[in-house]
Chains A and B, each alone.
Chain A
Amino acid sequence: KAGSERAARDLGVELLFEGPVDSNAAKQNEIVENWITLGVDVIAVAAENREGISTALRKARREGIKVVTFDADAMPDARSFFVNQATPQGIGEALMDEAARLCGGEGEFAIICATLTAGNQREWQREIERRRQERHPGMKLVAVRPCDDLKDRAQSEATALMSAHPKLRLIMAICSPAVPGAAEAVKQAGKKGAVRVIGLGLPNENRRYVKEGVTDTVILWKTEDLGYLTVQAAVALAKGELKAGASTFKAGSLGEFRIEGDNILLGKPFLFNRDNIDQFDF
Chain B
Amino acid sequence: MNRWIREWSVVGVLALLLAYLAWRAPAFFQLQPLLSLLAREAPSLVVACGVAMVIIVRQIDISVGSQFSVCSVIAGLLAAAGWPLAAVVPVAVLIGGSLGLVNGLLVAWLGLPSIVVTLATLVALRQCLNLVRQGEFVNLPERIQWLGLSQSQGQWLLVGGAVGLVAVLAWGLRHLAAGRWLYAVGSDAEAARLAGIRPRAVTLGTFVLMGALTGIAAMMNVVQSPQVQPLTGSGLELKAIAAAVVGGVAISGGRGTVWGVLAGLLLLACISPAMVHLHIDAYWEKAIQGLIILAAVMVEGLRRRRNHAR
Contact = CB atoms under 8 A, between A and B. Distances in A.
Contacts of B134: 21
Interface string A168-207: 0000000001001100110011100000000000001100
Contact of A166 (B27, B32, B139, B229): B27
A253 to B, nearest CB: 26
Given A163-B30, A188-B151, A151 B227 contact: yes
A190 B27 CA distance: 17
B225 A152 contact: yes
Contacts of B259: none
Contact of B232 (A152, A166, A188): A152
Interface in B281-306: 281-283
Contact of B37 (A146, A156, A161, A208): A156
A205 B227 contact: yes
Interface in A141-171: 142-146, 148-152, 155-157, 159-164, 166
Contact of B276 (A143, A155, A188, A205): A143
Given A152-B232, A164-B276, A116 B25 contact: no
Contacts of B135: 21
Given A116-B283, A143-B276, A145-B282, A164 B229 contact: no
Contact of A164 (B137, B224, B279): B279
B200 interface: no
B59 interface: no
A189 B36 CA distance: 8
Interface of A: 21, 116, 142-146, 148-152, 155-157, 159-164, 166, 177, 180-181, 184-185, 188-190, 204-205, 208
B282 A156 contact: no
B19 to A, nearest CB: 18
A159 B36 CA distance: 8
B225 A160 contact: no
A163 B28 contact: yes
A146 B281 CA distance: 11
B28 A208 contact: no
Nearest to B274: A160
B229 A156 contact: no
B121 to A, nearest CB: 18
Given A151-B232, A152-B232, A156-B272, 13 more contacts: A143-B276, A144-B282, A151-B227, A152-B225, A155-B224, A160-B277, A161-B276, A163-B27, A163-B277, A164-B25, A177-B229, A185-B36, A208-B227
A150 B229 contact: yes
Nearest to A145: B282
Contacts of A116: 282-283
What 5 pairs across the A-B complex have the smallest Cβ distances?
A: A163-B33, A160-B273, A160-B276, A164-B277, A151-B229
A65 B30 CA distance: 59
B226 A150 contact: no
B137 A205 contact: yes
B29 to A, nearest CB: 9
Interface string B153-184: 00000000000000000000000000000000
A177 to B, nearest CB: 6
Given A116-B282, A188-B36, A208-B139, A164 B28 contact: yes
A118 to B, nearest CB: 13
A66 to B, nearest CB: 28
B235 interface: yes
A110 to B, nearest CB: 9
A151 B227 CA distance: 9
Contacts of A184: 225-227
A150 B277 contact: no
Contacts of B235: 148, 150
A129 to B, nearest CB: 14
Interface string B259-273: 000000000000011
7 contacts: A142-B279, A150-B229, A150-B232, A151-B232, A157-B272, A163-B28, A164-B277
Contacts of B231: 21, 149-151, 177
Contacts of A180: 137, 225, 227
